[in-house]
Amino acid sequence: MAIREIRVIGDPVLRTPCEPIAQIDDRVRSLVQDLLDTVDMEGRAGLAANQIGVLLRAFSYNIDDEVGYVLNPVLAELSEQSQDGDEGCLSVPGLWYPTKRAEYARVVGTDLDGAPVMVEGAGLMARCLQHEVDHLDGHLYLDRLDRAMRKKALAAVREL
């Protein structure tokens, strides 16, 4: 359908929790296609609906050539083991900061037919799943930084 413009930090839509998708209709089908088209570009790992201005619980992912989507995702499982690594975001362009996440994550939701789906993984996939669900809850990865790093990150954001 279309590659959509990414909303950036400062846009209130990024801080607004998304509504569950109650009915799968042409609008939702179009949203999913836009999410898939927009995430299917070099350097993009995931994209939540609110990042393109739509306040519905849906995201797409593009990890290791695996491209997909989940409607009404819920984090169903997180490992106790964590990973530390730099994390970035299309909505916070050009900035990467060390962000602690679970090493493994499992998300459950539905597809466009209303059938249950499950996406799971470790490493980058786990990071992506957690990052995108955070977006749908109205949070940015910067919220997860320790106090000193968050202060540094917000100063860098102001310079953008």
Q: Is residue 5 part of a domain?
A: no
pLDDT at 1: 61
Q: Is residue 23 part of a domain?
A: yes
Predicted confidence (pLDDT) per residue in 90-138, tens digit:
999 999 999 999 999 999 999 999 999 999 999 999 999 999 999 999 9
- The reply to whether 132 belongs to the active site is yes
Bridge partners, 25 (sequence order): none
The total domain count for the chain is 1
Radius of gyration of the chain, Cα coordinates, nearest whole angstrom: 15
Q: Is residue 3 part of a domain?
A: no
Asked if 101 and 124 count as a contact pair (C-beta separation under 8 A), the reply is no
- Separation of alpha carbons 127 and 88, rounded Å: 11
The CATH number given to whatever domain includes residue 129 is 3.90.45.10
Domain housing 85: 12-159
Q: Is residue 4 part of a domain?
A: no
pLDDT interval class at 65 (50, 70, 90): confident
Q: Is residue 1 part of a domain?
A: no
Catalytic residue among 80, 87, 103, 132: 132
Q: Is residue 110 part of a domain?
A: yes
Predicted confidence (pLDDT) per residue in 40-57, tens digit:
988 899 999 999 999 999
